Amino acid sequence: MYYIRDPIHGFIEINEWEKTIINQPEFQRLRRIKQLSLSNMVYPATNHTRFEHSLGVMHVATQMFDNIVKNEMDFLKNKLNYTESGLERERILIRLAGLLHDIGHPPFSHAAEELMPLKPDSVKDHYEHEDYSTAIIKNKFRRYIDESKFNDLKITADEVCDLLTKGPTSSERAFWRHLISGQLDADRADYLLRDSYHAGVNYGRYDLKRILRTLTVINEPETDNFSIGINKSGWHAAEGLIIARYQMFTQVYFHHTRRAYDNHISEAIKTLLESETKRSTFLPPTEKNLDEYLDWDDWKVGGLIKEGKAGLHGEIILNRQHYRRVYETKEVPSVGDLKEFEAISGEFKDRIGFIDTAEKSWYKVGDEDILISEEKSDSKYAPLSQYSSIVRNLVPNKQIRIYVPYENREKIKEQIEKYREEI
């Protein structure tokens, strides 16, 4: 057993098998992929990477699994017919899925996802980083999973991918996927704490220990499916998680300057792809394309920007003369606000750098409701919104912002204010 020191969780344990996977170049690449893109232009210490986040997700997912097993052992054995070896197998699968869940991220994380190509026979659906993750796991890590000398339980790379996409083959046990991607997943459990720590803010803090202690399995009688939820005694902790997500979105993830740099780095990478590959997008996630895709990371992009090969947006990043926000609606715009925005965007369309909307952001709020169980493993449950008036009244952020080039910011801002008075 090995121990990795982590500022969020203390010591993270890894075994020899996991160490082998971590040491592969495809995983080490995550050291060169920033978790929060160019957020360090606003919060200077946000230089953490997908590497440590992936370790954290594996760690938290394991804690979640262990607590559910501890809380629900009778249910798991009697209702779902789990054996000790069966539970150990699920535990290993969950650890591997947590470790590898972000292996397919592009350079600068979510900021470059707009550069992923369209799916075949689609005019609007693009590949997502999860598609690249599963392709990398199946083609690059299969030998380290299926063929590993440590794999006594015959776990496959396909099963790991199932936890990241459509769920385990056995639908009855598909609820384990919720630990990696769900209402109470280890992904957000880690990144909220990690991102807030490195940003130097308190917005993302919540009571993880209480959530872990009150995790339960909920039987939904309408569908006869099972879900991960929270025991009634922990609903305030679940509420805190939702509030933490909301505050991190409004204060950090959707910070107006951070969003400007998301636009600039995306445009810079697009320019680099066009000059280096004669394409404006990454290649689709097929086996033959993976080596080229994996060659792109933050270091490569940063080096090419420094060499002056990223065009206008590369220069903007180097000189920190990012587009400035000159207009924004309320977080939840009224009909009148939307009409005003349409008028302004139409009048100033030739002078606008770009328009940003919260709805198009990679991070959304208000699109979920954690299930609260009245009793352990019981069919009596209710959504968190029935317990929490705060959660019940939260609505998705639909704010719209207008950005203009740095040199025109004051002039156009004055013109917009004058135009608003006229309309």
* Model confidence pLDDT, tens digit, residues 201-226: 999 999 999 999 999 998 876 667 88
Can you give the pLDDT at residue 362? Answer: 44
Average pLDDT over residues 137-142: 97
Q: Which domains does the chain have, with CATH numbers?
A: 2-422 (1.10.3210.10)
How buried is residue 405: exposed, middle or buried, by Cβ count under 10 Å (0-12/13-18/19+)?
middle
SS3 letters for 67-118?
HHHHHHHHHHHHCCCCCHHHHHHHHHHHHHHHHHCCCCCCCCHHHHHHHCCE
Proportion of the chain above pLDDT 70, given as a percent: 94
Interacting residues of 256 by C-beta distance below 8 A, sequence separation 6+: 325, 328, 401
Closest of 304, 264, 230 to residue 114, by C-alpha = 264
Q: Which residue has the higher pLDDT, 395 or 199?
A: 199
Tell me: pLDDT of 353 over 70.
Answer: yes
Closest of 105, 282, 72 to residue 191, by C-alpha = 105
Measured distance CA(311)–CA(309) in Å, rounded:
6
Q: What is the pLDDT of residues 269-313, one digit of tens each?
A: 999 999 999 999 999 999 999 999 999 999 999 999 999 999 999
Q: Answer whether 0.85 is exceeded by the pTM.
A: yes
Can you give the pLDDT at residue 177? Answer: 92
Can you give the pLDDT at residue 396? Answer: 84
Q: Rounded mean pLDDT of the chain?
A: 93
Residue type for position 176: W
DSSP letters spanning 258-295 = HHHHHHHHHHHHHHHHHHHHS-SSPPPS-GGGHHHHHT
Can you give the pLDDT at residue 172? Answer: 65
Q: What is the pLDDT of residues 89-114, one digit of tens each?
A: 999 999 999 999 999 999 999 999 99
Can you give the pLDDT at residue 231? Answer: 94
Quick check: 1 and 11 in contact, CB under 8 A?
no
